[in-house]
Amino acid sequence: MTISIWRYSHLTLAISSTLFIVLASITGIILAFEPISNKLNPYDIVNIDNVSVAETIDVLQKNYDEVITLDVDENGFVATNVFLENGENATFYINPKTGEKIGDILEKKPIFEFATSLHRSLFLKSTGRFIIGFVSFLLFLIAITGIILIAKRQGGFSKFFTKVIKENFNQYYHIVVGKYALIPILIITITGVYLSLEKFSLLPKDKSKHIEILSEAKNTDFNIFKTTKLSEVEKIEFPFSTDEEDYYYIKLADKEIAVHQITGQIISEKKDSFFTLGSYYSLLLHTGKGSFLWSLILLLACFAILFFIFSGFAMTLKRTQKKSKIKNKFTKDEAEFIILFGSETGSTLSFANSFYKALIAAKKTAFITDLNNFTSYKKAKNIIVFTATYGEGDAPINATKFIKKINTTNQHQSINFSVIAFGSKEYKHYCKFGMQVHASLLLQEKFKAVLPIHKVNNQSFIEFEQWVLAWSSLHNLDLNISKEDIKIPKEKEQIFTVLNKTKNNIDDTFLIELKPSRKTKFKSGDLLSITPKDETRNRLYSVAKINKTILLSVKRHEFGFCSNFLNNIDINDKLVASIQPNKNFHFPKKTQEVILIANGTGLAPFLGMMNTKKSKTKIHLFWGGRTKESLDIYKKQIDLSLKNKTLTSFYTAFSQAQKNKVYIQDVILSKPELIANTLKNGNHIMICGSLNMYKGVLKALNKITKEQLNSTVDKFIENNQIKSDCY
Amino acid sequence: MKLKKILLLIPAFLLVITALFSFKKYTETSPYKCMIQMRNYTGEGAYVVISLLNPKGEYEETLYVQGDDDEWYFDITEWWNFQGKKRADIDAITGATISGGERSISVIRIDNDKLDKGYKIRFETAVEDQDYHKDDVEFELTSENVKSKIEGKGFIRYVRMMPQ
């Protein structure tokens, strides 16, 4: 429920202000170059941190007939307004050490003048200023709702900067860019609003006044000029006349002081009010004046805003397109099959819709609607729920009221139901909402489950088909689901050529080296998906990348369709497969030490990792096999890595080599310090191989972490220090 | 053929006359320092226009303009009636606006022969979306006044003048 409010406001705010935000961002991009181009002028030849006010005043009064003002701008350029010998009045930049003119005052370039006007008032004067100020406020709200949405999605503010799960380009970068651009955008909008409030006199009145200071001895003799550096000064007004009542006025960062022109005493000072300082810093932060780096950040933030608008609308468009596809042929009270869906991004809907179409094609009366529209259905015999899960196990946007409605809605007849839950195992709360729906329906007397809940990971069509098969055979139906109705990213299949293949070792295991036919980006740890001919189900192999070729290790099983298919293949044969990225099992980027643990064919991805890793990372390899001979096929690669020092140490366990079976977890237990130190220092452990080995290894690791680090192994799995790919 | 000669002379004569008059009468000008102290109002910086008025009270010359965004100039109504038609080049005598409570010192040049001749100096002020003061400060151009302090009626608290 709450999520929809935030998203709805995020979107509504964005739609209502897009045009102005685009305009302000584009002009903002242009304006970001103004401080940058000003800063590039060479008028800061002297470091004004080292020049005292007394020094500059002295040289100015020597060089010129009369000095009126001295200004120090954000760039550290010092300008003065003086009377020259010929009685002419002039303003120019000076060298504060010598008082000499070094350049004319910079004029605002016409392009910046134009952009400024457009940026702050759209050439509409006060009306425009109001609009821009208001839009700035809206953008502020958009940023705030954005922050809340990110926090909800990531599972709390504490996880704000944790990794974002990539679903598609627009969604992913909308969030990733959002996480980092939000801070500058918040600053831009707050300062923008502040400046607008100031323009419209909505800030409290500045009541600061000059307050007399009782003269102290040490304040005399222009001490203040000698001790104040030019860099602390914003402006100095020289005495208007020689009249003793006319003082020097020195504007410093937070106050103005009046100094007697003869005695050099500080006469009075005026402290800036809080709001004056606010205006000053708002202007600096909003314009980037005087700071190269901040201007650059502002520039990037403007680009980020434009990107948000683009990607945001692209997402919205996609979502509405997916939603508008529902067209019911029958009414809710005519239909025998009721399909209810809960979809956040619309992909679950495409599955539900394909199922609906298949039912209609099979001449059945079906009705499809949002879970939130749940009500009573007169002729319904079957209800099929398709639902995704959002964020921390929450309901998707159109399913938020469902569980409440189940309890309040009375059905006339008893109804069979089946729940199919969509989710991704990358999330902690995999399919959680689907399970809640299933459990809530089970509690109802009139509902009867025909199948246990069925989960579909990452929109897998195969997993979906398995359910369709089970469900339709229950109802004696022959359903044809069209794959084209379901918009899921297609795997990029291509042809691979077999470059090399080892002989089978003692365990019937062999290595195959494959060369992709196209230029393909992949890393060790990615998966090669092979679907043998006449088979619908694919097999996944964790691969190593060695010199742009793919290396995989296969164990032949007597009745294994795919392993036999690969076993029978010869050098130079071709096969069709696709590479699936498996980001969670890539070699960690920032790490000093990595422990790799594998058994059997699980060694394959590590062979590639050891081959390419950065020179400074220490790698320790633990491998478990049946016999010493089992290692033979891998020996060449491992010896090479040891020789190149890309592999630091290598430990083995051969379970069948001696009477008492020794497994790899037993070897791990003998190295508690290595394990504990690696985890303690934030380094990584990677595990690849059989599930049995994985369980054993985790047990061993848990023992070590409990004893040495006083913590369970789960903590390290959770924060991704322990990665695994087991099967 | 006397007539012809005369006819020929006429353009020559006219040329000499125009040539003579086109030499602008050379006038001495003197610089004056002029400090404007604003009242403590809130809001945008004020536009201030300093003009020279002739004895009949008509605009004669623009001496200084504080505020360089010309989209606001026509808010300074009286002056704009003059400047808007004449469009004199005022780029050289333009400065930034000054806000409430602030001071600014500018230098204006006034013809020496206008002194003590019944001419007047006028300070007009306007703030975006606030008031417009036609004669915030106005005083006669006398040798006495150009070294004095004159109180303002609108956004200006006072103006101080000082011959350089």
CA torsion through residues B112, B114, B116, B117, sign? positive
Which residues of chain A are under the pLDDT cut of 70?
Answer: 1-4, 167, 215-220, 321-325, 426, 484-492, 533-538, 613-615
Residue A625 placed within a domain:
yes
Query: Which stretches of chain B drop beneath a pLDDT of 70?
Result: 1-3, 14, 16-26
The CATH code of the domain that includes A651 is 3.40.50.80
Q: Which domains does chain B have, with CATH numbers?
A: 28-163 (2.60.40)
Question: A200 vs B164: CB contact, 8 Å cut-off?
Answer: no
Contact A240 B128 (CB under 8 A): no
Q: How many domains does chain A have?
A: 5
Predicted pLDDT at A568: 86
pLDDT at B12: 72
Interface of B with A in 130-159 (CB under 8 A): none
In chain B, which among 65-84 make CB contacts under 8 A with chain A?
A: 69, 71-72
* Chain B contact for A237 (CB, 8 A cutoff): yes
CB of A361 closer than 8 Å to CB of A477? no
Q: Which of A461, A485, A509 is the last residue of a domain?
A: A485
How many alpha carbons fall within 13 Å on the CB side of residue B90? 25
Distances from the Cα of A26 to the Cαs of A1, A145, A297, A312, in angstroms?
36, 23, 15, 17
Chain B environment of A91 (Cβ under 8 Å)? none
A474: Cβ contacts below 8 Å, ≥ 6 apart:
A450, A451
A231: closest CA of chain B, how far (Å)? 22
pLDDT at A409: 86
Chain A closest CA to B91's CA: distance in Å? 12
Q: How confident is the model over A315-354, as pLDDT tens digits?
A: 888 777 665 557 788 888 889 999 999 987 777 888 898 8
Q: Is B55 on the interface with A (CB under 8 A)?
A: no
The Cα of A486 is separated from the nearest Cα of chain B by a number of Å equal to: 58
Which B-chain residues 110-129 have CB contacts (< 8 A) with chain A? 128-129
CATH of the domain at A358: 3.40.50.360
The helix or strand, by DSSP H or E, that contains position B62, with its residue range, turns out to be: strand B59-66
Same domain, A308 and A410: no
Tell me if chain B has a CB within 8 Å of the CB of A91.
no
CB contact under 8 A, B128 and A125: yes
Q: Cβ–Cβ contacts within 10 Å for residue B127, how many?
A: 26
Contact B69 A206 (CB under 8 A): no
Tell me how far apart the alpha carbons of residues B119 and B126 are, in angstroms, rounded to a whole number. 23
Question: pLDDT tens, B43-59?
Answer: 778 999 999 999 998 99
A68/B33 touch (CB, cutoff 8 Å), yes or no: yes
What residue numbers bound the domain in which A696 lies? 585-726
pLDDT confidence of residue A571:
87
pLDDT at B53: 93
Is A382 found in the same domain as A367? yes
Residues of B in contact with A126 (CB under 8 A): 128-129
pLDDT at A60: 93
- What letter represents residue A558's amino acid? E
Of A468, A485, A502, which residue is a domain's last?
A: A485
Report if residue A94 sits inside a domain: no
CA dihedral (A560, A562, A564, A567) positive or negative? negative
Whether residues A453 and A522 fall in one domain: no
Which residue in the set A89, A240, A241 is minimally distant from B107, CB to CB?
A89
Residue A534, pLDDT score: 61
Enumerate the residues of chain B whose CB falls inside 8 A of the CB of residue A117.
Answer: 69, 71
Q: In this complex, is the C-beta atom of B162 within 8 Å of any C-beta atom belonging to chain A?
A: yes
Q: Is residue A106 part of a domain?
A: no
Q: Do A237 and B162 touch (CB under 8 A)?
A: no
User: Does residue A421 lie within any of the structural domains?
Assistant: yes
- The nearest CA of chain A is from the CA of B11 a distance in Å of 41
Long-range contacts at A554-557 (CB < 8 A, ≥ 24 apart): A554/A509, A554/A510, A554/A511, A554/A512, A554/A601, A555/A507, A555/A508, A555/A509, A555/A600, A555/A601, A556/A504, A556/A508, A556/A509, A556/A510
pTM of the model: 0.59
Indicate if A167 and A230 belong to the same structural domain.
no
- pLDDT at site A1: 41
Same domain for A332 and A467, yes or no, is yes
Q: For the range A149-157, what are the long-range contacts, defined as Cβ-Cβ under 8 Å and sequence gap of 24 or more?
A: A149/A3, A149/A6, A149/A7, A149/A10, A150/A175, A150/A178, A150/A179, A150/A182, A152/A2, A152/A3, A152/A6, A152/A391, A152/A392, A152/A394, A153/A391, A155/A391, A155/A392, A155/A428, A156/A392
Q: Looking at the structure, tell me whether residues A438 and A450 fall in a common domain.
A: yes
Distance, CA of B80 to CA of B69 (rounded, Å):
14
Q: Which residues contact B26 (CB under 8 A, 6 or more apart)?
A: none
Tell me: the pLDDT tens digits for A581-628?
777 788 888 888 999 999 989 999 998 888 875 667 889 999 999 888
Helix (H) or strand (E) holding A566: helix A561-567
